[in-house]
Structure 1
């Protein structure tokens, strides 16, 4: 039986969460569901692509800041018109407004999804505990996220489920052979340029590598509120030749595939889609030991994990890796094999279908 499902996101412009929406759309043929997409805020690159593929997309053009009565009012109107059987909310803002609206509209199956490990105050934990009471299940995109949800007491263990993010690796397989000699240490970063992603520390680490006479080139792919800070920092540290600020790209793998190593210096990270994509390119990875990274990387075999992502720590690790660069090809191949088949979108869609249908059959989802 075809089930109408609406996915609620905070925005549908660019970023890992938004890429997730595209992956769901591209693999909708693996599902029996009729899928709709909604952004609390504005649209952008991803919403445009979703519409080109042929999916209904609704952008409410609200701030989405918690709490936003206008968002709830607009969502109520949308849900009444669409009449979905399942609502699946992605991220804190979407969870807050989407689950409350869905409960008020009595949407039969209500799913929340936490995409990171938030720094919630005691009050915020209490608020989200109340919000998640309106859900039937809450997905954690890694074991680390799921465990946090339960240990923080926001979600009871019986409601929490871990479903890894899906990652499309077909294109990266083709790009994996595009390697170069190690004449320059090419480093890749893909992600939003926000404080939590810590791009400024990586740029400072490149400056330290330059001081150690390492021939280095950093590709920073992405955009965000820290773009101007990144530009200023590169100028202040005389890194115009060493750092290329690419901005948003709809094909970041074309940059990552030519790199010797991919770095994820995040202060907090729920999963790390770009991390898996880099590994799928056959590129070794260096990541902070936060969130889902330890579940993805086998330290010393498919990449490296570090406890701190300050500039000195990043520089020290990268300098050691550069001095052992003859091992990079082997580690990259191990990285590619480790993610092959592990995060398949087809399997993800089946997991979602099973979750939706199981809760629909139970009526209340036991929640």
Structure 2
């Protein structure tokens, strides 16, 4: 069976990590390739020994050329743009739409939700990464027969191994993720500023990159946090920073899931996050504290930083739950089953 994973981005982030994990997990039963516009993602794919089919531009003409050459049984499209484009090839191929996001517009009647609903008529299976994301979709009742909820999974042993790589600096708090509004990195800066009022020596790391990097740097300077916050930039291995941190903070405004939460959990780093979207669902599963306001987030972090015994207990609980619920073995069973199911239709 041949599966083409289609993504509209050319960088490495959450959905891209999931696609790579799916390709690796489905071997050897499934021959899978990665298809996207050409970009820095090529380096990650090479390291993972994954075949890369490059698009000159993300459009019908270029994808049609690639599909004619590869001739997959299934197009596994990740997120909305890829799903809309893939749906145009439904007469020739089986289509899976895999939704990783939980945007605000998803809950309303608008051009985006109506367009996706229309496209869903040409899609064989729709995968949501959390129950919450599925429940948020305005027209969920009209697509219910096609839906499967499958949580993301991670390469547990690889993450634990990478977390042991040498990294000399210890941190109280860490933020790992894109520097984009949905991930709310500016609130993390505010959090460090708030906690500094009680502990002037507090140290934090922000691992990632994105469009808000300049705004973040300016805010750090304005709040005089240059000695408190380290900006590492994008890191191939964020786990070595996680492993040297006391708390992983996830202040997102909305989330379809949260890979960072289960990655930190597996390593044994206590997670505290906002109770939004699929993130709240993940935090429930691993037994991590959820917060509903900035003040609550600050209070939870302050309490955890002061209580080593509670941090240790939380670390053990979250690590066990993350390893139990989010392994690639579980993902493989579910995803290969879906491939076989729709291939036989």
TM over 0.5: yes
1:136 aligns with 2:121: no
Distance 1:9 1:155 in 2: 25
Distance 1:218 1:336 in 2: 22
Q: Is the 8 A contact 1:116 1:271 kept in 2?
A: yes
Residue 267 of structure 1 is matched in structure 2 by: 253
Residue 66 of structure 2 is matched in structure 1 by: 78
Q: 1:16 pairs with 14, 17, 20, which one?
A: 14
Change in 2 beyond 3 A, CA 1:176/1:221: closer
Distance 2:125 2:329 in 1: 21
Distance 2:335 2:86 in 1: 18
CA shift at 1:35, angstroms? 0.9
Q: Is the 8 A contact 1:168 1:277 kept in 2?
A: no
Residue 172 of structure 2 is matched in structure 1 by: 186
Q: Is the 8 A contact 1:138 1:155 kept in 2?
A: no
Residue 5 of structure 2 is matched in structure 1 by: 7
| C-alpha distance after superposition, 1:72-131 (max 9, x if no partner) | 22112221221111010011111111222x22x521x21001101122252211111001
What's the secondary structure of 2:75's corresponding residue? Answer: strand
| C-alpha distance after superposition, 1:318-339 (max 9, x if no partner) | 2233333431011101110111
Q: Is the 8 A contact 2:163 2:242 kept in 1?
A: no
Matches within 5 A, 1:119-268: 119-120=104-105, 121-122=108-109, 123-149=111-137, 151-153=138-140, 156-173=143-160, 186-213=172-199, 215-268=201-254
What's the secondary structure of 2:145's corresponding residue? Answer: coil
1:118 aligns with 2:115: no
Distance 1:176 1:193 in 2: 22
Distance 1:164 1:337 in 2: 17
Change in 2 beyond 3 A, CA 1:327/1:20: same
Distance 1:256 1:185 in 2: 9
Q: 1:304 pairs with 289, 303, 328, which one?
A: 289
Q: TM-score, normalised by structure 1?
A: 0.86
Change in 2 beyond 3 A, CA 1:133/1:271: same
Distance 1:57 1:266 in 2: 31
Residue 68 of structure 1 is matched in structure 2 by: none
CA shift at 1:146, angstroms? 2.2
Change in 2 beyond 3 A, CA 1:186/1:145: same
Change in 2 beyond 3 A, CA 1:74/1:22: same
Q: Is the 8 A contact 1:25 1:50 kept in 2?
A: no
CA shift at 1:254, angstroms? 0.2
| C-alpha distance after superposition, 1:174-225 (max 9, x if no partner) | 57789xxxxx861111111100000011111101111223531111111111
Matches within 5 A, 1:316-327: 316-327=299-310
Greater fraction helix: 2
Gap regions ≥5 residues in structure 2: none
Residue 333 of structure 2 is matched in structure 1 by: 350
CA shift at 1:235, angstroms? 1.2
Q: Is the 8 A contact 1:110 1:134 kept in 2?
A: yes
Gap regions ≥5 residues in structure 1: 65-70, 179-183, 363-367
1:282 aligns with 2:268: yes
RMSD (Å), alpha carbons? 2.5
CA shift at 1:282, angstroms? 0.7
What's the secondary structure of 2:252's corresponding residue? Answer: coil
CA shift at 1:259, angstroms? 0.8
Distance 1:154 1:130 in 2: 14
Distance 1:255 1:221 in 2: 8
Change in 2 beyond 3 A, CA 1:98/1:206: same
What's the secondary structure of 1:203's corresponding residue? Answer: helix
Q: TM-score, normalised by structure 2?
A: 0.91
CA shift at 1:52, angstroms? 4.4
Q: Is the 8 A contact 1:126 1:154 kept in 2?
A: no
